[in-house]
Amino acid sequence: MKVGKDVYLAFSPERIDPGNTVYTVTNTPKVVGGMTETCTEVASCFYRQVISDVVPVSSPQAAEMTKLLENTFRSVNIALVNEVALMCDRLGIDVWEVIDAAATKPFGFMPFYPGPGLGGHCIPVDPHYLAWKLRTLNFNSRFIELASEITRSMPAYVVAKVGDALNQFEKNFKGSSILVLGVTYKPDVRDIRESPAIDIIEMLKSKGADVSYHDPYVDRFSVNDLDMTSVALDEGRVGRSDCVVITTNHSSFDYEWIVKTAKCVVDTRNATKGVQAGLEKVVKL
């Protein structure tokens, strides 16, 4: 059988943002690249039945590279803003204030936000497929490698922040009770793939901390040597904890109440931005 005559072969990369209710499958443009022009035309016709905007490209390779560019773009820019967060910490500047101010520029700037690391099934993974492929062609993709290095350092940076918070109360990691809020990689979804919260929990446990977690979307998880069940988010649990670490900014969390009830809070997501009272107890990324 001949491709383009007897069988039609094309590739269309995934463009899904879990939890996004504005851009869904039907209104997100669909990139399609076929083995031949006819393949592209047939595949595009197929997708137009359910998707409002189809974007044809010259080949499956171009379609796949489009996806890799999109994910690498996000990976590199998130790594950049994570490094800016590290800089601001050294300089005594609020990185969140800086980003909000920069985002008022109507051109030439797109806001990205720091966090405890990258998660999900695309951004932490896909750029490395590209980097691996390029290494086989004797090409070093330096931006991808550097972005990965910075991003991989963020869980350890968060753990250091927790140590700083505990020190304020003359506490050590060993024996301290730490409550982690959120183990999914992004808010209001159930996905824990590549979640940096898992790395943070492992590091805290390795330092001798008594770690528990609460997540309204994940009742239980088993990853590597961890097998944990979500605890109740009540006044006793929050109040008894030596430190509460916000790793996922779920919209269902009452951050005013959390800050009021907790002894200290390490906020890796700027989730406490709107909190008015008790901010002296909050350590931000």
Which pLDDT belongs to residue 273? 95
The closest alpha carbon to 207, from 242, 253, 250, 233, belongs to: 242
Assess whether pLDDT exceeds 90 at residue 120: no
Is the same domain home to 175 and 266? yes
Q: Does residue 238 form part of some domain?
A: yes
Is the same domain home to 124 and 165? no
Q: 39, 45, 88, 122: which is the annotated catalytic residue?
A: 122
Would you give the distance in Å from CA 220 to the centre of its chain?
Answer: 20
pLDDT digits (tens, 9 = 90+) for 68-106: 999 999 999 999 999 999 999 999 999 999 999 999 999
Select from 123, 151, 179 the last residue of a domain: 151
Q: From residue 154, how far is each of 116, 150, 168, 216, 235 by CA, in Å?
A: 5, 7, 21, 24, 29
The model's confidence at residue 124, banded by pLDDT at 50, 70 and 90, is confident
Q: Does residue 143 form part of some domain?
A: yes
The model's confidence at residue 263, banded by pLDDT at 50, 70 and 90, is very high
82 and 147 Cβ atoms separated by less than 8 Å: no
Q: Does residue 279 form part of some domain?
A: yes
247 and 264 Cβ atoms separated by less than 8 Å: no
Is the same domain home to 45 and 115? no
The CATH code of the domain that includes 147 is 1.10.1040.10
Is the same domain home to 87 and 146? yes
Which pLDDT belongs to residue 49? 96
Q: Does residue 3 form part of some domain?
A: no
The closest alpha carbon to 32, from 12, 46, 49, 48, belongs to: 12
Gyration radius (Cα) of the chain, Å? 22
Our count of domains for the chain comes to 3
Is the same domain home to 236 and 275? yes
Is the same domain home to 193 and 276? yes
Is the same domain home to 179 and 253? yes
Q: Using CA atoms, how far apart are residues 5 and 256, in angstroms rounded to an integer?
A: 63
Is the same domain home to 235 and 268? yes
Select from 87, 119, 151 the last residue of a domain: 151
What is the 8-class DSSP label of residue 103?
A: T
Assess whether pLDDT exceeds 90 at residue 248: yes
122 as an active site residue: the answer is yes
Select from 86, 116, 151 the last residue of a domain: 151
Is the same domain home to 18 and 122? no
The closest alpha carbon to 202, from 117, 90, 113, 144, belongs to: 117
- Classified as helix, coil or strand, 162 is helix
pLDDT digits (tens, 9 = 90+) for 159-214: 999 999 999 888 999 999 999 999 999 999 999 999 999 999 999 999 999 999 99
User: What string of DSSP letters covers 105-147?
Assistant: -SSS-------S---SSSTTTHHHHHHHHHHTTT---HHHHHH
The closest alpha carbon to 73, from 150, 13, 129, 144, belongs to: 144
Half-sphere exposure of 273 (CA within 13 A, CB side): 11
Is the same domain home to 171 and 211? yes
Q: Does residue 1 form part of some domain?
A: no
Which pLDDT belongs to residue 12? 97
| Predicted model pTM | 0.91
Which pLDDT belongs to residue 156? 97
Is the same domain home to 243 and 163? yes
The domain of 166 spans 154-284
204 and 213 Cβ atoms separated by less than 8 Å: no
Q: Using CA atoms, how far apart are residues 115 and 161, in angstroms rounded to an integer?
A: 12
The CATH code of the domain that includes 280 is 3.40.50.720
- Classified as helix, coil or strand, 281 is helix
Is the same domain home to 113 and 167? no
The model's confidence at residue 19, banded by pLDDT at 50, 70 and 90, is confident
